[in-house]
Amino acid sequence: MIRVSELKLPLDGTKEQLKKKAARALGVVPKEMKELKIFRRSLDARKKDDIHYVYTVDVSLEDESRILRRADGKKLAPAPDIVYRLPKGVNMPEKRPVVVGFGPAGMFAALLLAEMGLRPVVLERGGDVESRRKAVEQFWETGKLDTENNVQFGEGGAGTFSDGKLTTRIKDPRCRKVLEEMAEAGAPEEILWDAKPHIGTDLLRGVVRNIREKITALGGEVRFHAKVSGFAWENGKIHAVLLENGEQMETKDVVLALGHSARDTFELLEREGFALEQKPFAVGVRIEHPQEMINRAQYGQAAENLPAADYRLTYTTKAGRGVYTFCMCPGGMVVAAASEEGRLAVNGMSLHARDGENANSALLVQVFPEDFGSPAPLAGMYFQRDLEEKAFQAGGGGYAAPVQKVGAFLGIEGNGEGVRPTCRPNVTESSMNDIFPAFITDALREALPAMGRRLKGFDRPDALLTAVESRSSSPVRILRDENGESLRFGGIYPAGEGAGYAGGIVSAAVDGIAAAERIAAKYGWKKAGQ
């Protein structure tokens, strides 16, 4: 097939128009094209009076070599082979591999191990997606928190209660495998070609359930409410995983796919002697605006003909500290995302339709090891906990999230009509000064007006800040060697976001796939071409 890039179409463009554009670029007539597949579609909104879609397509023709002889490698090029090929081998592990955690990294590690016939056992401390949904809804309605089955813990990981964004900056060919498996499991087909793919939490729950069912159909096992309490070692290598219920599961291969909020497990790893190190992350607030305002600011008069708009903003303070928006949820809601009693964290979530009244995004400030006040490996985690305890207290307890209008935060006049808060179970007006150290509030106060100059209305006085967004990424890294194994213990493969090696659903899933490949390589399995 031939890849044809930079095909521009108006917002109401049709498939037939796309075929004609592709044929013109190839120098053929449309009927000579045997097949046309959309590979990528992005929206170019840089000029408000010329908003259009840009397509990349793959086309098959009878005589492709003739066309490729004049290909420039940019707008015309051979379509790359993006088919994922499983490692192959005959040697089998003595014991079934164990995957700890069933977020994106653990899920895709288990899926790949199952597809290779290695019959993995998954240990997930939380519940399946349906019991988890009920526990989360109860928390949002009543403030009653289940510390083992919540927004952070359970089938699908923290991403299950989010926007289900599948954008990533990594250029790993395994990304395509992730998207194709999700589409096969029920995600909308457009995730395969949309430049900013998302699923939405309402659809994502079904997707993760279907992937689990595929794993079990292939001989794997997924065990819920199975919390790891320790490890047994033999000559510096894993011998067994110990469960809180007293069970001991013998194995020689463990994918350690913790979520970024598995704080008690991080403490367990420190006691066990794992090599851990601090890592930078970011903390801040969720900021809410009317979605209609964001649409107008991004699309102008074309807003009515386009899906809910998103944005991404960055700023560097005079002191050199980065401030940026993250995990922007068009037409979404702010959600209470606590996993520990007496500590309050928030996150953002959108349904697939993204049709809510408000837009929200994390507005984060970089924090570095020197900010933690200690060289201890888990000092960043305790820094997060301290902020969450202050947010819980500022909200008056009961998991009411502390909120403050941007105008009050910046000390400027005018609050407008007020953006209505979306966070459940409740919110309480408070001051961000009661929660954050000065270096964070100072950075936010400097960044907000600057961002308002780039996105009109971003710093409007009635925009709403909700605290505390503290779980943007893991505060610790579980060190691993060049083979992907734990630096101190053989047979343990730290993977994904909680281990400090990913930053989103797709990158975590890719890291999980890589961990499964490393286990296969240990037994002499090879991928095609190796």
Q: Are 175 and 197 in contact (CB under 8 A)?
A: no
Rounded distance, CA 383 to CA 374, Å? 10
Rounded distance, CA 323 to CA 436, Å? 15
Q: Terminus-to-terminus CA distance in the chain, angstroms?
A: 24
Strand residues in 136-200 grouped as ranges (E): none
Entry pTM: 0.95
pLDDT of residue 251: 98
Rounded distance, CA 102 to CA 155, Å? 6
Nearest by Cα to 361 from 466, 439, 442: 466
The pLDDT tens digits for 110-149 are 999 999 999 999 999 999 999 999 999 999 999 999 999 9
- Is the Cα torsion angle 426, 432, 434, 440 positive or negative in sign? positive
The C-alpha angle with vertex 205 and arms to 201 and 210, in degrees rounded to 5, equals: 145
The pLDDT tens digits for 200-225 are 999 999 999 999 999 999 999 999 99
Rounded distance, CA 311 to CA 332, Å? 14
> Phi/psi of residue 418, each to 5°?
95, 130
pLDDT of residue 413: 77
pLDDT of residue 184: 98
Element (H, E) at 403: strand 400-405
Q: What is the pLDDT along the chain (530 residues), one digit of tens a residue?
A: 999 999 999 999 999 999 999 999 999 999 999 999 999 999 999 999 999 999 999 999 998 998 888 887 789 999 999 999 999 999 999 999 999 999 999 999 999 999 999 999 999 999 999 999 999 999 999 999 999 999 999 999 998 998 889 988 888 999 999 999 999 999 999 999 999 999 999 999 999 999 999 999 999 999 999 999 999 999 999 999 999 999 999 999 999 999 999 999 999 999 999 999 999 999 999 999 999 999 999 999 999 999 999 999 999 999 999 999 999 999 999 999 999 999 999 999 999 999 999 999 999 999 999 999 999 999 999 999 999 999 999 999 889 999 999 999 999 977 667 899 999 999 999 999 999 999 999 999 999 999 999 999 999 999 999 999 999 999 999 999 999 999 999 999 999 999 999 999 999 999 999 999 999 999 999 987 66
Rounded distance, CA 314 to CA 291, Å? 20
Structure tokens at 465: 């800040």
